[in-house]
Amino acid sequence: MTARTDMNRREFLGATAGGALGFLACGRGAPGGASVPPVPADSTAAAAFAPSGLGYDYWNGVFETITRGFISNALKTSDTFAVCEYPQGTHLNNFVTARGLTCDSVTRMLPALAARIVAPQGGASLEVEGKRWELEEVFVRALGAATDPTSKDFWEYPSTKDWNQRQVESSIVAWSLWLARDKVLERFSLSQRKNIHNWLASCTVVPTRTNNWALFSAVNQAARIALSERWSEFSGDEAPMREDLAAIDSMYRGAGWYSDSSHGEAYDYYNFWVFASHSLYLDALVGERFPDIRARYRERLAQFLESTPYFFGGNGSHVLMGRSLAYRWAVLTPLTLAHGLGLWPLSTGLLRRICNRNLAFLWEAGAWDSENGKLRESLTPHSNHDICESYINHGHPYWGMQAFYAMSLGPDDPFWSAPEAPLPVEQGDFRREIAPAGLLLDGSRESGQVRLWAARCDQHYENKYYNFGWSSHFPWNVGMVGERVAPDCMLTFSGEAGAYGRRQSGFTGEVLAGGKGLRWSWSCEAGEAKLSVESLLWLEGELEWRAHRVHYAGGRGYLSAAEHTYSLGLELEEAAETQSGQVWEWARNKEGKVVFARAAFGFNEHVALGGFEGREDLNSFYPRAAQAAVSARIAPGDTVLVAALYASPKPESLESLLARSADMPPEVLAFAGLES
C-alpha cells in the first residue's frame, strides 16, 4: 500500500510537470543535464497541434530512474540481484524464493535491461549510490543466481500439478535472454546455461491453454528453440509450442482481437500486453524457422495495430478500463516492438506521438514513488487501491518495462526524431467499431476525449468491466463499498433494507449500424427484486441518450432507479461548481471538466453531485470524485426510463446542453415506445 499525501492533485501535477521533468532535466534522470521540454497538457482543436518535444533523453531519463530504483532496492534485499523487495509494497507468495523473497520484481525488469544492453551506442551502466553498475553484470548475476538450485535466491521450480506464476514470468525471462544473447550468454558458464534452461523448461510442464497464459509457454519454447541453434545447453519443443498456439487461435475473434478465454467474451488491454506483444516475440524468435506461424500472426497484428491509435485521448491517456491497469504503458509494448521489427503499419510520427504522450501522461500523473524508489501499484498517489487485483504485488507494475524495448533502438532511430503526427482524435471526430470484439470507440476533436463501450462481456471483475462506458478524461470509480460496486456511468436500483443492484455480471448486446450507439440486455438483483433490462445508448457527439425498458419482478414496494454520469475528478479540498433544476444537474471542476444529467422520461428529479454512499475516495485516478444523477421511483412491472448524460473536458455551455437535451431523438423515442 502507498501512503496518502496531503498535497492536492493540482499541486501534485504542477510539481511533477515541473518537478518530474525538472528532475530528469537536471541530470539525475537525463544524463548530462539534457533539456526536457514541458509536455502540452492536452491537444485539441481549441489549441493547435503541438509536438510533445520528447525523445530519447526523456525516455532514457525515465528508464534510468526506474532502473536505479531497482538496483538500489535489489541490493538492500540481497547481494544477488535475483530478488527485490520494494518498501511499503504488497507482498504475495505467488512467486517467491524459499526465503520468501519476491522474484517477479526482477523478472519484469529483465526485458528493459536486455534492451538497453544491446543498444548500438553501448555504455549500458548506471551510477547508484556512489557505485557504477554495468547492466550486463546486473543481468548475469541476477539470472545466474536465480536459476541455480544451490543459490540462496533460487527461484525454485514450479509445481508439476497446477498453474504457477513462474510460467507467466518465464516468457519474458526467455525473451530477455534471447534479446541480450550476444552480450550475456558467453558470460555464463556451461553449467549456468544448463541451469537457466532447466528452470525455463520446468515452466512448460503444466499446459495452460484456456487464456492468454498459453502464449507464455509458447514463447518460452520458442526462445529455447532459437537459443539451441548456437548453444547446445538449450532445447525447445515445437509440438507443445504449436499446441499452445492452437489454443491461442481458438481465442481469436477477428480484426486482430482475441477474447481472453477459450470460450466466452473477455476483451481488454491484454490484447496489447500479451496477445500482440507475445506474438511479436514469437515472430522475432522463430518467425524465420516457422513461416506459417509468422504469416498468421503478422496478418492479425497488422489489423490490430491499425486500430490502436484510436484508444488514445488528446491528453495522452489510453481509455482506462478493465484489469491490470497497474501495467500502465505496457500498452506501448507491441507498438515499440512492431517498430523495431519493421512491422508498424502507420507513420513513425504517429507512433512517436502515441508513445511520447502516453508515457508522459502516466509518468507525470505520479507513476513513480520517489521516496521508495519504485513504480506504484496504483496509477497515481491517490488511486483507490481497488485498482489493483488480488494478484498484483509490488513487482507487477514492472510488466510495463517491456515497452522499453525502445531503448534497444539507439538515439539515431527515427522513433526518437520523426516529426510527430497528430492522433486520430487530434485530426477529427471519429467513431471506430471493432466488430469482432464488440467494441465501439468515439473521439471528439474539439475536446480530445475518447470514449469506449463494450457490447458484450462475461469477465469476472464486477467493478472493472460492467459500466456503460469509459472515458480518457473521466477515470472511473473503481473502489467498492463493501461488496457494492460504485454506480459509475450506470443505471442502479436501490430499495429498503439496503437493497442495491446494478449491472455487474455478464451481458450481451450489439453495436448499432454506423456506430450510432449500442443496445444491451442485462439483469441484476436488488434485495429480493429481480430486474431484467433492455438498454439503448444513442450518441449525439458527447451527449449520450440512455434509454431502458425495465422489468421488475420478485419484489414488493418501490425501488429507486438512478442514472449516473461519469465520475468528475476533484482535488482533495476542491468544491465543484454546481447548478441544478428540477430534472437536471450540472457540475464543473477546477480543470473545467463538466458532467451533466437530465431526465427525459420516467425519471423525474435530479440527484445532487456526490459520492457513492458518501464516499468520494473511490476513483481509479483522482483523490476524490463525485457523480450527478437523475432518479425515479419504480413499482413492480414494466417501466421505461430515459435520460440524457454528458461529460466533456472542453464543454459546451449549460444553455446549449439544456437546449440539445430538450427533445429526444426519434430513435430513442422508438426504442422507448413513445412515438407520437
Question: What is the per-residue pLDDT across 119-173, written as a single tens digit (0 to 9) for each?
Answer: 999 999 999 999 999 999 999 999 999 999 999 999 999 999 999 999 999 999 9
SS3 state of residue 362: helix
Cα–Cα distance, 525 to 67 (Å, whole number): 49
Residue found by looking up cell 471483475 in the block: 461
Q: In terms of Cα–Cα distance, which of 254, 263, 262, 356 is closest to 307?
A: 254
Cα–Cα distance, 449 to 611 (Å, whole number): 23
Q: Determine contact, residues 673/640, Cβ cutoff 8 Å.
A: yes
User: Whole-model pTM?
Assistant: 0.93
| Tens digits of residue pLDDT in 299-345 | 999 999 999 999 999 999 999 999 999 999 999 999 999 999 999 99
CB-based burial label for 346 (10 Å; 0-12, 13-18, 19+): middle
Phi-psi region of 141 (alpha: psi -120 to 50; beta: other; left: phi over 0): alpha
Q: Determine contact, residues 133/126, Cβ cutoff 8 Å.
A: yes
Q: In terms of Cα–Cα distance, which of 635, 621, 627 is closest to 566?
A: 627
| Tens digits of residue pLDDT in 360-390 | 999 999 999 999 999 999 999 999 999 999 9
pLDDT recorded at residue 556: 85
47-73 average pLDDT score: 95
φ, ψ dihedrals at 192, nearest 5°: -65, -40
pLDDT recorded at residue 48: 77
pLDDT recorded at residue 277: 98
Cα–Cα distance, 19 to 26 (Å, whole number): 10
pLDDT recorded at residue 454: 98
Residue 617, number of CB atoms within 10 A of its CB:
16
pLDDT above 50 (res 9): no
What are the strands, taking DSSP E only, across 60-199? 125-128, 131-134
Residue found by looking up cell 528452470 in the block: 199
pLDDT recorded at residue 39: 53
pLDDT recorded at residue 496: 87
180-189 average pLDDT score: 98
185-191 average pLDDT score: 98
CB contact set of 409 (below 8 Å; sequence gap of 6+):
119, 336, 339, 340, 415, 416
Cα–Cα distance, 480 to 466 (Å, whole number): 13
**Which helix (H) or strand (E) is 646 found in, with range?**
strand 637-648
Whole-number average pLDDT of the chain: 93
| DSSP states of 210-255 | SSTHHHHHHHHHHHHHHHTTT-TT----HHHHHHHHHHHHHTEEET
pLDDT above 70 (res 6): no
pLDDT recorded at residue 41: 60
pLDDT recorded at residue 153: 98
pLDDT recorded at residue 389: 97
| Tens digits of residue pLDDT in 576-612 | 999 999 999 999 999 999 999 999 999 999 999 999 9
SS3 state of residue 297: helix
Cα–Cα distance, 517 to 538 (Å, whole number): 5
Show the cell assigned to 98.
Answer: 524459499
Single-letter residue type at 29: G
CB contact set of 654 (below 8 Å; sequence gap of 6+):
579, 586, 596
Residue 92, number of CB atoms within 10 A of its CB:
17
Please tell me the number of Cα atoms within 13 Å of 618 on its side-chain side: 26
| Tens digits of residue pLDDT in 522-579 | 999 999 999 999 999 999 999 999 999 999 999 889 999 999 999 999 999 999 999 9
Q: Determine contact, residues 578/586, Cβ cutoff 8 Å.
A: yes
504-515 average pLDDT score: 97
405-421 average pLDDT score: 97
Confidence of residue 477 (pLDDT cuts 50, 70, 90): very high
Cα–Cα distance, 549 to 557 (Å, whole number): 19
As a 3-state breakdown, the chain gives helix, strand, coil percent values, each rounded to 5, of 35, 20, 40
Angle subtended by helix axes 165-179 and 190-202, to nearest 10: 140
pLDDT above 80 (res 269): yes
Confidence of residue 450 (pLDDT cuts 50, 70, 90): very high
Cα–Cα distance, 46 to 554 (Å, whole number): 52
